[in-house]
Amino acid sequence: MRLLKNMKKILVTGGAGFLGSHLCEKLLNQGHAVVCLDNFFTGREENIEHLLPNSAFQLIRHDVTVPLTAIEVDEIYNLACPASPPHYQHDPIHTMKTSVLGALNLLEMAR
């Protein structure tokens, strides 16, 4: 795949989820480098396994509730959040932390 002259490095949290994996694929098809970050609580590796051979794709297994370090990106798409009532009921505290602390950590990283 030919990378565009104005290629960006883009972080997609929740990148192994249904929506996140499709966004990763779209961004790669547009010629961008993609860093997919997921803790695989609800995301699935089979959603992104076809992207793994792409040299512009990087997978990081990480929970956004833990601050991110040493990652420099041009754009951030935050799709990290368990998105179904059974997950909310199973672990409501972690769901809340993912939404709140995850957003705060990403905002700090974007600073």
Residue 3 lies in a domain: no
Residue 67 lies in a domain: yes
Residue 35 lies in a domain: yes
> Do 53 and 30 contact (CB within 8 A), yes or no?
no
State the CATH number of the domain containing residue 50. 3.40.50.720
Residue 1 lies in a domain: no
Residue 91 lies in a domain: yes
Boundaries of domain holding 42: 9-110
Residue 2 lies in a domain: no
CA dihedral of residues 23, 80, 35, 75 (deg, nearest 10) = 80
- Tens digits of per-residue pLDDT, 23-63? 999 999 999 999 999 999 889 999 999 999 999 999 999 99
Query: How many domains is the chain partitioned into structurally?
Result: 1
> Residue 72 pLDDT more than 90?
yes
pTM score, whole prediction: 0.91
- Tens digits of per-residue pLDDT, 78-102? 999 887 788 778 888 988 999 999 9
